[in-house]
Amino acid sequence: MTTGIKKTNSVIECILSRSAAKYYDPVATLSDEEIFELVRIGTAAPTSFHLQNWRFIAVRTREAKARLSPIAWNQPAIADAAVTFVVIGQLVDTSVIPERLAPLVEAGVMPASMVAEWENPARDLYMAYPQRRRDEAVRTATFGASAMIYAARSFGLGSTPMIGFDADAVHREFGLAADEIPVMLLSVGTERPGNWAQKPRRPVSDVLNFI
Ligand SMILES: Cc1cc2nc3c(=O)[nH]c(=O)nc-3n(C[C@H](O)[C@H](O)[C@H](O)COP(=O)(O)O)c2cc1C
């Protein structure tokens, strides 16, 4: 019996029709409420132990864009897109788990007795391993950015994930904390004509192994 996964729907349509934008309408803006909504949707993405170890800086004024552009290869998306998010991952600190899980206990989603059952293995998994703490920061930010990319597409907006920036300079310029990593920039806005057509992908048979 199959699951019916071959049916199409608006989510699949969003995923399959997206491509990275380079050219944006420099006049089109997004309101603070619309930017807030994009991040709200982004934070519905999953995180390990529900850590939610992310933060988003919405660079949307002319002045803020002028601070970001020179430390991000002067990529045109920064000046032209309505907003560019600095998508930040925070090094895992498992001592925040009781505080992060408290709303779940309050809402009756999770019994209070389970909080320690999450915090203890999480501490063992991460805290003695700097690379794992950092890897999780990158995963968390990437899941969040990914949800925002498809949400943007569903609203008819273009998006560009960007790694072309000086991470140390962004860290300094935007006052990131010592445990924060600027994982990627994500521009979002109304596209203007001239963006490339979708790029063909490697064949699934080259990237999928059945075992
Ligand atoms: C992690 C990551 C970093 C990227 N960095 C940049 C960038 O700095 N500048 C840019 O124009 N595009 C950047 N891109 C966009 C990629 O070039 C683009 O996603 C890729 O060519 C596939 O094209 P598509 O997104 O249109 O399918 C980046 C994409 C990812 C996922």
pLDDT single digits (tens) 64-114 = 999 999 999 999 999 999 999 999 999 999 999 999 999 999 999 999 999
pLDDT at 1 > cutoff 60 = no
CB 166, CB 176: distance < 8 Å: no
Q: What pLDDT sits at residue 2?
A: 63
With respect to residue 163, please indicate whether it lies within any of the assigned structural domains: yes
CB 50, CB 92: distance < 8 Å: no
Question: What's the CA-to-centroid distance between 99 and ligand 1, angstroms?
Answer: 35
pTM (predicted TM-score): 0.97
Dump strand ranges (E) for 71-114. Answer: 83-90
pLDDT at 4 > cutoff 90 = no
With respect to residue 60, please indicate whether it lies within any of the assigned structural domains: yes
Distance CA 160, CA 28 (A): 16
Domain count, the chain: 1
Average pLDDT value for residue range 118-144: 98
The tokens of 132 are what?
């794992």
pLDDT at 7 > cutoff 90 = no
With respect to residue 10, please indicate whether it lies within any of the assigned structural domains: no
With respect to residue 173, please indicate whether it lies within any of the assigned structural domains: yes
Cα–Cα separations (whole angstroms), residue 17 to 10, 115, 189, 193, 198: 10, 41, 16, 16, 8
With respect to residue 18, please indicate whether it lies within any of the assigned structural domains: no
What's the CATH code of the domain at 139?
A: 3.40.109.10
Question: What's the CA-to-centroid distance between 136 and ligand 1, angstroms?
Answer: 21
Show the ligand 1 pocket: residues with CB < 6 angstroms: 19-20, 22, 75, 160-164, 184, 199
pLDDT at 118 > cutoff 90 = yes
pLDDT at 147 > cutoff 60 = yes
Q: Sheet holding 158-162: strands in order across?
A: 54-59, 83-90, 180-189, 158-162
Q: What domain range includes position 77?
A: 32-191
With respect to residue 73, please indicate whether it lies within any of the assigned structural domains: yes
